[in-house]
Amino acid sequence: MVTRVTGGGWPRQGRLLPWEETEGKPAYLAPGSEDSRLGRLADAVERAQLHDAAVVLTHASAVLADRDAAARELRFTAERLRECLVATTRVARSRGARLGMPPEGP
């Protein structure tokens, strides 16, 4: 069910999944499998990632508003924001590709 793309290419068809393969390479859902168990799992994972990003953003706003926030807390918050940004960027790329938009950025 997963389509592999080598050489850094972008599949003409196939959905970019919200996780990577074990080697750290992008994972893709084979065309025509959008309503499969794996496709529904990808939908659920994307929803959870977007929800988590909203929660982290709310927390980050509170931390940044606190002028007395410790460096350790600021670093922790920045790390969580980076994780959420990676996940939400992947969701955006996947959804954009399904709309026929080419990927942008690194």
Instruction: Please list, in sequence order, all residues whose beta carbon lies within 8 angstroms of the beta carbon of residue 53, skipping any fewer than 6 positions away.
Output: 84, 85, 87, 88
Spatial distance between the Cα atoms of 75 and 99, rounded to a whole number of angstroms:
36
Would 2 be classed as within a structural domain? no
Would 58 be classed as within a structural domain? yes
Would 29 be classed as within a structural domain? yes
Structure tokens at 69: 């926030």
Q: 26: closest CA among 44, 7, 5?
A: 5
Q: Is the pTM of this model over 0.75?
A: yes
pLDDT on residue 103? 66
The structural domain count of the chain equals 1
**b/e map of 71-81 (b: 16 or more CB within 10 Å)?**
eeeeeebeebb
Residue-wise pLDDT for 23-76, tens only, equals 988 899 988 888 899 999 999 999 999 999 999 999 999 999 999 999 999 999
Which range marks the domain in which residue 53 is found?
Answer: 15-98
Would 9 be classed as within a structural domain? no
Q: Is the pLDDT of residue 6 over 60?
A: no
